Structure 1
């Protein structure tokens, strides 16, 4: 070999045959004459991973002829042995190698068996709804082009692997990466100072930081710091998006970031009872005026993004009623009309865009016998099965929310001092449908993403029972805790602590449902 004294310079084929080689390139004449494939002259290398840190070695395995070693014996015969030499990779290359390894492990745990090519009307790229934006994160050019995104992603990867492997050091490294990413985000925002629209990598980094809070955030001194940190990241993402034009999200990864991000940002708006930019017409239309066409999930989210505005208007009626009864009645009538329009839109979506096998078992107006319905769940669900279950649970959660607003708005004009629990009875079938379907999100096939997707519909269901004077709330709360804590730990990551930090699983000492005041506070 060139540059290595005492070693053959011939091609791999001739050395394997122990024949002389004329060293012609790219193929030697001897191989050509005999009709053999010439394997060339380059030294073959392989990467071997040792351990879970940046300890990679370059292993150069030479063939027996080129790594010949003379071993003297009684007859002085030559015996050949394979000789392996190892050298450490440069630190930068080693770091890149183990990061790629961790990324692959995390994405397989997050959405098992899903690939970027498994696209359906419900699943979107990557198998599960709300996760197609992760495909862009896996792009080598995007990932390595943004140190901020690298730290944000590695914070989740290291923390996830550390928790699953019970490796405290790795978990601590994840926390360090999260802290560095937070500082990096602050520096990036300060330097930009609104001069340029934030790029997609910064949007993705913000989303990764919010995901970290869902799974690994902590609450100190019973203060809901975890939920507050999550909210800050979600509204931070909305602020970044508002600095961009809707036309910047027509195609590619930018479109996936917007399409997938609308739901979590809207949930943040529901929790804090603030309207979001996504209810504006331009954010519903312009991003889909390019090559992308709306999926069933996109069409459902077009309705979902209007719910925060309903809650804001209901708050204005209960907290700051109009000075005149006529204006108050007008505002009340307008809110009821909008609720009715949204319910009609939901029914239209169910008939035209819902998964076929779920359509007939979904509760509807006037339908009875919902307790006996068997929802099409599987013990070993595919990514598409989970996606279809998720889209239906979101649909049922929306039914609960819109109908609760309508019930409370109607009650504002009543002379009763408190809202009778039976007024909410028509919402129970939707909550039961969610509770019966929820286990599909906590199966091994759903992965970590399933745990995340289950939070919103489950909390909507349990909150309904709590607002009905606590009817069945204790049993439902215990059931949900078992799902999100114990089973979540077995199949993905537990999210029970995050749900508790939202503060939605306990009513205030003065129950607003029972005393007839501040009704809007119980709509979540």
Structure 2
């Protein structure tokens, strides 16, 4: 960038104040040198000995004993870039910065030109941020770059999720608002896809709805919005049938959609997992978990007197089988049993067990707590072979809830992955419901849920809330 000084024709009789008229002058530099001929453009010998009658000597230089080329008799532009680049001192730099800061915005815009900053691909940034924090979104974003239409349903849904998560975790309101606008667009597109007999069965539609559900988990502006999306997911999965969930990617989606009792049907427990694809510990535990909603529904029917004694006994057997299967799950995958102290000891060494193992332990304890009402109704112990000191059912529930909190606290921290916080949302909600109000245990659970899951990781759905008994599993 060149600084140009306009040299005006002057005479020997000009006043110093008139000569000093220039659009910028460093305070330690004589105005004469700004407006005189460029001295750096002339060799020292030429400047000293040459006499130019068209530019007579000025009185100031004569008095000071300085040789110069005299006054300018005609207007000309002089490139001052070379002089400033050669004579560059920290003091002058600071003075120039002060002068530039004092210029008005209009003057700065007119005199100083700067190239615009390079803009990164916004979608690439927010997508990379989402992938780096939540591994489970990888299936939802698979082959996204191959979609040529930028406003496709899945593209809009992923962009909405990525933007609102980036804005929430980084305090960027502009990006957060962008995600909210993209959410509205994606929701409209999803509604059109659901009205199409072909699009409703496509994987992109299901993936888009899952993205919108995760969006609600982060924003949580509507207390039932996330539940509506989950209900929509389960209906889409059911409509697609188990035969559309046999690939690795489709099974991954299925693992995120377990909620309703149709998942307990034989075809749903077998078709997606052929003999060549063994189930993981998580798959097996979720198969057991899928039974609980149906058993709670059947218990309501028993309490209302809608069934006979045979149904009552059959339900009791199913509850006992479920508890037995939970114990077998522990033994088969070599996980510590509840109330044995192993999970508490493990928290002292965060590397003793993988995070996902601890998350599964917390989920297993939460499933047992979900069955508290069933066990009370049928007079079945929550945990078999527990110490006599823990025979009190309330004490057992509190101990199980405490184990969940210890497991969560050992996994969630400043260096942990965002995905880990998602794994503990449900167990912590259930655990907090089994503590007495105002106790230290309840406050500890609330601190993890509000401060870490909702605060640090940005998932508002993880914040502790007072649930109505009609909207959540009843703990008796």
Q: TM-score, normalised by structure 2?
A: 0.66
Q: Is the 8 A contact 2:449 2:463 kept in 1?
A: no
Please point out which of 282, 295, 298 is paired with 1:297. Answer: 282
Does residue 321 in structure 1 map to residue 305 in structure 2? yes
The equivalent of 1:340 in structure 2 is 320
In structure 2, distance between residues paired with 1:483 and 1:309: 31
The equivalent of 1:481 in structure 2 is 446
In structure 1, distance between residues paired with 2:202 and 2:163: 25
Per mean C-alpha deviation after superposition, the further-off stretch among 234-243 and 137-146 is 137-146
The equivalent of 2:422 in structure 1 is 452
The equivalent of 2:338 in structure 1 is 363
Task: Pick closer, same or farther for the CA change 1:280–1:141 going to 2, 3 Å.
Answer: farther
The equivalent of 1:98 in structure 2 is 122
Shift in Å at residue 334 of structure 1?
Answer: 1.9
SS at match of 1:261: coil
The equivalent of 2:407 in structure 1 is 437
SS at match of 1:446: coil
Does residue 215 in structure 1 map to residue 200 in structure 2? no
SS at match of 1:287: coil
Q: Is the 8 A contact 1:250 1:290 kept in 2?
A: no
Shift in Å at residue 489 of structure 1?
Answer: 5.3
SS at match of 2:190: helix
In structure 2, distance between residues paired with 1:144 and 1:442: 39
Shift in Å at residue 487 of structure 1?
Answer: 2.8
Shift in Å at residue 309 of structure 1?
Answer: 0.6
Q: Is the 8 A contact 2:212 2:229 kept in 1?
A: yes
Shift in Å at residue 429 of structure 1?
Answer: 2.8
Higher CA-based Rg: 2
SS at match of 2:122: helix
In structure 2, distance between residues paired with 1:459 and 1:217: 15
Residues 61-99 of structure 1, C-alpha deviation per residue, up to 9 Å, x if partnerless?
A: xxxxxxxxxxxx899xxxxxxxxxx9999xxxx89x321
Does residue 245 in structure 1 map to residue 220 in structure 2? no
Q: Is the 8 A contact 1:144 1:150 kept in 2?
A: no
Task: Pick closer, same or farther for the CA change 1:378–1:185 going to 2, 3 Å.
Answer: farther
Shift in Å at residue 164 of structure 1?
Answer: 2.6
In structure 1, distance between residues paired with 2:358 and 2:145: 34
- Matches for 1:360-509 after TM superposition, within 5 Å: 360=336, 362-363=337-338, 370=341, 373-376=344-347, 385-410=354-379, 422-465=392-435, 471=436, 474-488=439-453, 491-495=456-460, 499-500=464-465, 503-504=466-467
Q: Is the 8 A contact 2:454 2:463 kept in 1?
A: no
Q: CA RMSD in A?
A: 3.4
Shift in Å at residue 446 of structure 1?
Answer: 2.9
Please point out which of 127, 146, 154 is paired with 1:149. Answer: 154
Does residue 158 in structure 1 map to residue 163 in structure 2? yes
Please point out which of 206, 209, 212 is paired with 1:206. Answer: 209
Residues 324-354 of structure 1, C-alpha deviation per residue, up to 9 Å, x if partnerless?
A: xxx2x33332222111111111111101114
SS at match of 2:272: helix
- Matches for 1:180-199 after TM superposition, within 5 Å: 180-190=185-195, 192=196, 194-195=197-198, 198-199=201-202
- Matches for 1:8-27 after TM superposition, within 5 Å: none
Shift in Å at residue 392 of structure 1?
Answer: 0.9
Task: Pick closer, same or farther for the CA change 1:236–1:136 going to 2, 3 Å.
Answer: closer
Q: Is the 8 A contact 1:198 1:244 kept in 2?
A: yes
Shift in Å at residue 397 of structure 1?
Answer: 1.0
SS at match of 2:434: helix
Q: Is the 8 A contact 1:136 1:142 kept in 2?
A: no
Between the two structures, name the one with larger relative contact order (CA 8 Å, sep ≥ 6): 1
Shift in Å at residue 186 of structure 1?
Answer: 0.8
The equivalent of 1:468 in structure 2 is none
In structure 1, distance between residues paired with 2:343 and 2:240: 49
Shift in Å at residue 142 of structure 1?
Answer: 5.9
In structure 1, distance between residues paired with 2:374 and 2:403: 20
